[in-house]
Structure 1
Amino acid sequence: MTPILARLVALTDEAQTALGGRREVPVSRWPFRVGRHRRQLVDGDAAVGQERRGDSEPAENDLYLRETNGGHSLHISGTHFQIGLESDGFVLVDRGSACGTIVAGRRVGGHRRGGFARLRDGDEVVVGTSKSPYVFRFAVDDPAGLGHA
């Protein structure tokens, strides 16, 4: 069986910067957890990867987005959302983020409430409020048809 592979594709310059300059990242592990790198950054200093932790402490996220806020409010929480694979498709679960996540125009979570939404191929994912510049597209490379409406 061919493994399920999806991608988060940056749709804005800020999203690409949060991905360390890459246009997209593969999503092939389930659940795939996304959050903000906790170190304070200056504009232009961005990368993706695992935050350094002690050997005994597991990583909180599979993907760490680096947010350069330039004095503006933060949009990405330390443990923001995760993408899961279920028998009938994909789901995005807000992990109790402060600002929430927007999936295909629908607000999910925020105010540390959490929540979930079905995630389909081509859905736009906004990390944070509707004013957030961190906008991605969820893309599925899946011969079995998962993620397609």
Structure 2
Amino acid sequence: MSPDPAAPAATLVAVTVEAKRALGGASAARITRFPFKVGRESRLSAAAEARARESRLGLLPELNDLYLLEPQWSDLMRISREHFTIEYDGRQFWLVDRHSACGTIVGSQQVGGNRRGGRVLLRPGDTIAVGPPYSEYVFRFEVAAAR
């Protein structure tokens, strides 16, 4: 996938401290291509870590464009390895839940969960909570103004 020059520049901005931690300490993540895939980084075992390293070396296909980190000490996984995508159809942005276990919340609308999947219109300024309604992984979707 290569960057879409016709798509407006978009960003996921961390709203909560936990979201910033999930971004590895960064306050935002630029969306550089569509569909933009988001999911959990699996660092739970030596085998998973080796697989992640192989993937980064290009030996395995990437599952995501953005890998969110959950605390290693957490026994509850709220972010699925393949959680959601952000798509751009040439006019509008869409958030598509990738059949995640806990779903995604855009504004106040639940999308997916229980491995159902789903799709919702995504507007600049919308909040995205990754996981259940009480998720601490909250981001704001921003789009740069057209020039």
> What range describes the TM-score normalised by the shorter chain of this pair?
0.7 to 0.9
Give TM-score scaled by structure 2 length: 0.85
After superposition, give the CA deviation of every residue in 1:92-115 in whole Å (9 maximum; x if it has no partner). 000010000000110000000100
Q: 5+ residue gaps in structure 2?
A: 46-51
Change (3 A) 1:71 1:3: closer
How many residues are paired up?
135
Percent identity between the two aligned chains: 47
Q: CA deviation at 1:72?
A: 4.5
Q: 5+ residue gaps in structure 1?
A: 42-50, 145-149
1:111 aligns with 2:111: no
Match of 1:67 among 67, 70, 74: 70
Provide the C-alpha distance between the structure 1 equivalents of 2:91 and 2:6, rounded to a whole number of angstroms.
17
Q: Which structure features the higher share of helix residues?
A: 2
Provide the C-alpha distance between the structure 2 equivalents of 1:90 and 1:7, rounded to a whole number of angstroms.
12
Q: Report what 1:13 is aligned to.
A: 17
- Indicate if the aligned counterparts of 2:128 and 2:140 stay in contact, CA closer than 8 A: yes
> Superposition RMSD on alpha carbons, in Å?
1.8
Give TM-score scaled by structure 1 length: 0.84
